[in-house]
Structure formats: structure tokens, C-alpha cells
Structure 1
Amino acid sequence: MGILSWIVFGLIAGALAKWIMPGKDPGGFLVTMGIGIAGAFVGGFVGTLLGFGGISGFNLGSMVLAVLGAIGLLALYRQMKK
């Protein structure tokens, strides 16, 4: 996947993570979307380390890994900003 695909994929993952974990986030919508992009990278990396495979394109398995990574980073971000 190219860099533009990663960005779009991360934006979708961030939006889904925000939908799954609603609430007031410090930093607003743009920070949440940035966390989604970073979560796509983290989810793919951790998934590869654990043997689930990485993010290989726009498919369901890759989206699940990206959303889980975004949820993890969003939860961590909320804890750090409290």
C-alpha cells in the first residue's frame, strides 16, 4: 500500500475507533484521526509480531488490526491527558 492508502486507511480506522470509544478527547477530531493513522501502523506491527499477519490492503482483517491499534492508542492518549 502506498502512503496515501495508509493515510486513508488510518482515517477510517480512527473514525471507527472514535465511534467504538465515544467521549470527549483532548485535541479534537484532527488528533483522533492522527491517532487512527498511527494506530493502523501499530496494529499492523503488533499483528505481525503476534503472527496474525500485517496490514496487507483494504480487507477485513487489516481493518480489524488497524482499529484495534487505534483503540489502544486512543485509550493510552486519554489516560495521558487526564
Structure 2
Amino acid sequence: MDEADRSQAFADREAERILADARSRNAAAALSGGVRPALRVCVDCDDPIDARRLAAAPAAIRCTHCQGCAEQHDTRRRSGVIWP
């Protein structure tokens, strides 16, 4: 593994850590009631999360579209179609 590969791997890990931290803060705020539903945005695309979705899943951190994409990605990863 050369220096460029190590740098890219580090950048990828750091990006994942930052994203996971943002998701956990958003989820914790949702569970505590600290975020008004009108101000909630998707952690993936920054679009507002629909009020109907929040009514059905108050701790939602993704819009309906991004949640579907994340679930599809998870299914593929678990089945071995793609690598993590």
C-alpha cells in the first residue's frame, strides 16, 4: 500500500466517522424531542424529512428516498453483492 492509498483510506475512515457522529447526534436529538420536525433534514441529502415520515418514524434521520437507498445498499452488502 503506497502513501496515496494510505491517505485515501484515512480520508474514507474520517469521513465515515464524521457522518456516523452526525447521524448519532441527529438521532439522539430526535429521540429526546430536541429537534422540531419542521427543521429536520436528511443526513444524506440535506433535504427536509417529510412530516408524514416523522409522524410514522420520529427518530428518522433520512428522507424516504435515502432510507430506501440505504436499505438496498445494506441488503446488497450483506448478500455479498458488494463489498463494505
Fold-level similarity (TM above 0.5)? no
Report the TM-score, using the length of structure 1 for normalisation: 0.31
Higher gyration radius (CA): 2
Task: Indicate the structure with greater helix content.
Answer: 1
Report the TM-score, using the length of structure 2 for normalisation: 0.30
